[in-house]
Structure 1
Amino acid sequence: MLLALATAPGRPFHRRIPRIQLRFASKLPQEPKKPRPRLAQPEKAAEPVVTDRWNYNSSSLLEGDAKSQEELAGYRLLNANDLEKCKQPPREVKMLVRDWIEDSLYNPNYGYFPKQAVIFDTQNITFDFGRLRNSVEFQVEIGRQYAKYGADELQGPGRQIWHTPTELFKPWYGIALAKCLVSEYLLKYFPYQDFVIYEIGAGNGTLAMNILDYLRSNHPEVYDRTRYHIIEISESLVKLQKKKLTPFHPCVKVIHQSIFRWDKKEPSPCFVVAMEVIDNFAHDMIRYDLRTLQPLQALVTIDDRGDFDMIYAPVTDPLISSFLKLRTQLAHPPAIPRLLRASPALLKAFSSLPFAPNLSQAEYIPTRLLSLLRTLRNHFPRHRLLLSDFSSVPDAISGYNAPVVQTRFQNTTVPVTTLLVAQGFFDIFFPTDFTRLRDMYEHILAEPASGDLPEAPSTPRLATSSPLALGSDYFSSYHPSNRRKPVDGVTSASGLPVGERKSSVFTHAQFLSTYADLQNTRLRSGENPMLEFYQNVKFLF
């Protein structure tokens, strides 16, 4: 039972799962081969001439059957928005790695989340932690709940089930987050502003239910002023959340939309909650030419038989270029050894060695995370972000900041060694460098928002404060380093425009030790799984 439990969840605990050395084929069982039609060569003006697209050390076991780089490069370039219209995985196309990941995970017709993924749900069962002897017995209880989903079929990928701390430790985990949010609201905005919460990707709706139940029971005056918005991309989860939440909490509004397509501005102070969301945000992949240190963007190609390959071209994508520029401004180094970056002579000598690679290792960059931060800055100018996710992951594929790519097969979670797998049958999730995330977030919030800032509702505090058009140093020439530059018309709890305090990074245990009532999740042995599990998770708040 314990072995089955250790490998059943689709998301890892902090304990490392023994790796099963299997490599899945890049696609499902193939149709019989058909003669390949000869493709017309692309016009010369259609794409810049690129001399190097392949890693010299990369070779195929079927070299004679591989397509030429020119033929692959001539495929149509699509993005994830174009691919939403596809009923089946496309062929004879190419796309950036982030579009490949988004299509694999979120395509409404064959994507992993719409068609395969199931979030572990204990339904109406809450674990009685005080009756459990130790963490081993707790994992046995989790295993019994997993067993209710039934065994996988012997052929093909099994049911893709993964768990979250919200489900394992309900309602106590959700109550800890509620205490965090309501304490900030009471300090800064009550009773002059509504308590506005936006949750991105609410899963089964359990976290929202736990937060709202706590507010109604313990802060009824706050609950009466609460507006809870859920931004959800999955149609099936939208239906589940509405059915679960709206009969009990009329203040809930579920919006079926991707956060990346959000186009409304929220003028009021609000809280944005993102729990285990950004790990599934698509990343781009870049590699550096080790002769010139110029970055190359990776593109996934799919040929006429559905076989995958990867080619590289100079960076032309605006989002990748923007990320690389921001990283330079923040002095975050690329994934190239420091000595090679510092010494051109050493770099030249290294690249001249026999069998030396011409490209650096793969580096996965969080371009979609950058899109989220800019969306928050532009459309939620007075937000406070509460975010939690994995800071490290076991069994990642090769590369810097590389993801875990895994599926369930015959009741066992199997990590694979390549990103190029059948679309929709594999979970792809990334770690987050929270120190870099904090730097990016604070830097972006300091940039001017695009468009005009909506006028905030008038409150007694705002009416008594001087407009910041006089200058952020009107009251004093000193500005604390742990505070953001103030937004015009927004005051602190004291009424002075000193700016919101900057975000901090906390470990999972640090955050819950501050806000959770740990007596409720302590086992008879004295262990506390809510603190001891998920040691590879951090918070930004």
Structure 2
Amino acid sequence: MLVRDFIEDSLYNPHYGYFPKQATIFSNSDTMVDFSQIRNGNQFQELVAERYAGYGMDKAGPGRQIFHTPTELFRPYYGQAIAQCLVSEYLLKYFPYEDFNVYEIGAGNGTLATDILSFIQERYPEVYDRTHYTIIEISQSLVKQQLKRLQEHSCAKVVHKSVFRWDVREPAPCFMVAMEVVDNFAHDIVRYNMKTLEPFQTYVCIDNSGDFSLDYTKITDPLISSFLSLRHNLSHPLPLPTILQRFPRLRQLYGNMPFVSNLSPPEYVPTRLLSLLYTLRSQFPLHRLLLTDFSSLPDAVPGYNAPVVQTRFQNTMVACSSILVKQGFFDIFFPTDFERLRDMYENVLSQPPSFVGNASHTLPLPPPRPTPLWHSVSPLALGSEFFSSTPGNRRSPLDGTLSSSGLPVGQRRSGVFSHEEFMQTYADLDRTRLGNGENPLLDYYKNVKFLF
């Protein structure tokens, strides 16, 4: 099978996948942490370690796969920061003309949704009355937890479905929330002929003795082709030395050297992330995306944009050097290049409604749903600084010309922010400050970014 199918099978197979059968989300919901009573960062880490220890010691073999998220670690203040961001945007652009529609992809234990809705209910009751919160969840076990946790909020519902199979079109303005989700989106491996630069897709094969191996063929998969075409249109460089790309003769000399592979090192390309962008474009044409995840990772397997493959063994996380591991017992998670993601996202969503992409991603979209704010201000009246000049092939804004999202063609939809920048803007930092003035909400997650 293709590498992305192997990774999805390892992570999400309902019978033996990592998330349905092995993973446990660290929960901090029973007692709230009073950060002001914690002396310093060392004591905070000790407190987290004690709560991890509460899950018990591992038995022989791979142990319980426990991982934590900032939602749980800084509950409820992290969720309140996310809520403040969404509500601020809603009040600025849509209230009182539209309802407050929120979709969350992969909601874990349901903690973030609970914290968001409780915050809005308390601080913005007029918004809460118009709130519709939908969770799109692939895991049946997590669906049950989410329904139990959200039973006090009648405006929330949970749909047991993969976002990649979502087929209900939302014509109204909405917010899409993806928190620590896309790192587990499956990638494909592409390698390049070092003489011709021809790309090859990768299959995972298994022999009669149960051993895995990789096999390379010419590109035939439509989704991989779509990604490579989009990257070419955005002028994103290949993961190869520039000098080899510019001079074919040097590539020939390099390829003729002894003991040199005829294929480049593996590149992990975010094909499932591209699938999400197609889904957002076709089913949520008036959405605003709030996405956060890792921008870099240590201890990754060899390759460009490669994942970390790890498992918990005898109460210690152990990193592996290959993705070819026993399905279900290992977490496989990827970094995200947020600047490239932003370019991909804007390019896919900025196409006019008549745009037809790759044959497997034809998007017959009806005209965008009008909103009262469309014609209140000409986009050109906001000044030249309102629009970005990059990437270079983006169409310049044309007054009255709308994309499939309803925004003027060429308008920047999103910015990239560090975790610290985002929290400084929306979080109540006094609530997470420690006794000595440290603030773990800002100091942690240096390798995390936001797209909004």
Partner amino acid, structure 1, of 2:11: L
After alignment, is 191-200 or 446-455 more displaced? Answer: 446-455
Q: Who is 1:92 aligned against?
A: none
Seen in structure 2, the aligned counterparts of structure 1 residues 309 and 390 have a Cα distance that, compared at 3 Å, is same
Cα distance in 2, alignment partners of residues 400 and 406 from structure 1: 18
> What does residue 510 of structure 1 align with?
421
Deviations 1:348-379 (A, max 9, x none): 11111121211110100000000001110111
Whether 2:17 is the aligned partner of 1:111: answer yes
Q: How many angstroms apart in 1 are the aligned matches of 2:339 and 2:197?
A: 25
Identity of aligned residues (%): 60
Q: Distance in 2 between matches of 1:506 and 1:262?
A: 28
CA distance in 1, matches of 2:410, 2:340: 22
Give the TM-score taking structure 2 as reference length: 0.92
Q: Does 1:343 align with 2:256?
A: no
Q: TM-score, normalised by structure 1?
A: 0.77
SS of residue paired to 1:313 = strand
How far residue 502 of structure 1 moved from its aligned partner, in angstroms, is 2.2
Matches within 5 A, 1:320-399: 320-399=224-303
Residue 220 of structure 1: CA displacement?
A: 0.3
Structure 2: gaps (5+ residues): 354-362, 389-395
> Which residue does 2:139 correspond to in 1?
234
Amino acid aligned to 1:240 = Q
Name the structure 2 match of 1:31: none
Query: How far apart in 2 are the matches of 1:262 and 1:181?
Result: 23
Which amino acid in 2 is paired with 1:159?
Answer: R
Paired with 1:490 and 1:465, the residues of 2 have a C-alpha distance of: 17
CA contact (8 A) 2:350 2:405 kept: no
SS in 2 for 1:509: helix
Q: Partner of 2:208 in structure 1?
A: 304
Equivalent position of 1:162 in the other structure: 67
SS of equivalent to 1:274: strand
Distance 2:139 2:256 in 1: 50
Partner Cα separation in structure 1 for residue 285 and residue 333 of structure 2: 28
Shift of 1:448: 3.4
Equivalent pair of 1:260/1:371 in contact (CA under 8 Å): yes
Q: How does 1:88-167 map to 2 (within 5 A)?
A: 95-153=1-59, 155-167=60-72
Total equivalences in the alignment = 434
Question: Are residue 217 (structure 1) and residue 122 (structure 2) matched?
Answer: yes
In structure 1, distance between residues paired with 2:9 and 2:276: 18
Match of 1:523 among 421, 431, 434: 434
Matched residue type, 2:422: F
State whether residues 132 and 155 of structure 2, in contact with CA within 8 Å, keep that contact through their aligned partners in structure 1: yes
Residue identity in the other structure for 1:156:
G
Distance 1:139 1:477, change over 3 A: closer
CA distance in 2, matches of 1:277, 1:460: 33
The equivalent of 1:266 in structure 2 is: 170
Residues 368 and 406, structure 2, Cα contact 8 Å, conserved in 1: no
SS in 2 for 1:535: coil
CA distance in 1, matches of 2:403, 2:194: 47
| 2:189 match | 285
In the alignment, the residues of structure 1 paired with residue 156 and residue 185 of structure 2 have an alpha-carbon distance, to the nearest angstrom, of: 25
Residue 449 of structure 2 aligns to a residue whose secondary structure is: strand
| Offset from partner CA, 1:40-98 (integer Å, 9 cap, x none) | xxxxxxxxxxxxxxxxxxxxxxxxxxxxxxxxxxxxxxxxxxxxxxxxxxxxxxx0000
Aligned to 1:403: 307
Asked if 1 retains the 8 angstrom alpha-carbon contact of 2:295 and 2:336, the reply is yes
Which runs of 5 or more residues in structure 1 are unaligned? 1-94
Query: What is the rounded CA distance, in whole Å, between the counterparts of 2:181 and 2:65 in structure 1?
Result: 17
Distance 2:404 2:203 in 1: 45
Asked if the contact 1:505/1:538 (under 8 Å) is kept, the reply is: yes
Instruction: Give 1:453 shift.
Output: 2.6
**Residue deviations 1:200-241 (CA, integer Å, cap 9, x gap):** 000011110111011010100000000000000000000100
Per-residue deviation, residues 375-409 of structure 1 (Å, max 9, x unmatched): 10111000000000000001000000000000000
Computed over aligned residues only, the root mean square deviation of the Cα atoms, in angstroms, reads 2.3
Is 2:309–2:321's contact at 8 Å kept on the other side of the alignment?
yes
2:93 aligned partner? 188
Q: Which residue of 2 aligns with 1:40?
A: none
Q: Is the 8 A contact 2:195 2:248 kept in 1?
A: no
Q: Secondary structure at the match of 2:122?
A: helix
Specify which of 317, 325, 339 is matched with residue 221 of structure 2: 317
Can you list the C-alpha shifts for 1:270-311, whole angstroms capped at 9, x where unaligned?
000000000000000011111211111110001222110111
Distance 1:103 1:181, change over 3 A: same
Q: Distance in 2 between matches of 1:439 and 1:490?
A: 15
Pair 1:490–1:443, CA change in 2 (3 A): closer
Question: What CA distance in whole angstroms lies between the structure 2 residues aligned with 1:421 and 1:329?
Answer: 35
1:451 corresponds to 2:355: no
CA contact (8 A) 1:114 1:236 kept: yes
Partner secondary structure for residue 399 of structure 1: coil
Contact kept, 8 Å, 1:395 with 1:415, in 2: the verdict is yes
Residues 300 and 311, structure 1, Cα contact 8 Å, conserved in 2 = yes
Match of 1:532 in 2: 443
Quick one: structure 1 residues 188 and 500, their matched pair in 2 at CA, closer, same or farther if it must change by over 3 Å? Answer: farther
| Conserved? CA contact 1:97–1:299, under 8 Å | yes
Higher-Rg member (1/2): 1
Asked whether the 8 Å contact 1:465–1:491 carries over to 2, the reply is: no
Contact 1:158 1:408 in 2 (8 A): yes
- Please name the residue that 1:174 is paired with: 79
What pairs up with 1:426-437 in 2 under 5 angstroms? 426-437=330-341
CA contact (8 A) 2:224 2:271 kept: yes
C-alpha spacing 1:526/1:365, structure 2 compared with 1 (3 Å): same
Q: Is the 8 A contact 2:35 2:432 kept in 1?
A: yes
Q: Secondary structure at the match of 2:168?
A: coil
- Superposed CA deviations along residues 450-493 of structure 1, whole A, max 9, x for unmatched, are 2233663x76556x769x9xxx98x999895249776479989x
What is the rounded CA distance, in whole Å, between the counterparts of 2:23 and 2:424 in structure 1? 31
Distance 2:102 2:404 in 1: 21
Alignment of structure 1 residues 3-18 onto 2, 5 Å: none
Kept after mapping to 1: 8 A contact 2:191/2:267: yes
Which residue identity does 1:103 align to in structure 2? D
* Paired residues of 1:157 and 1:408 also in contact (CA < 8 A): yes
Q: Secondary structure at the match of 2:132?
A: strand
Mapped partners of 1:282, 1:162: distance in 2: 19
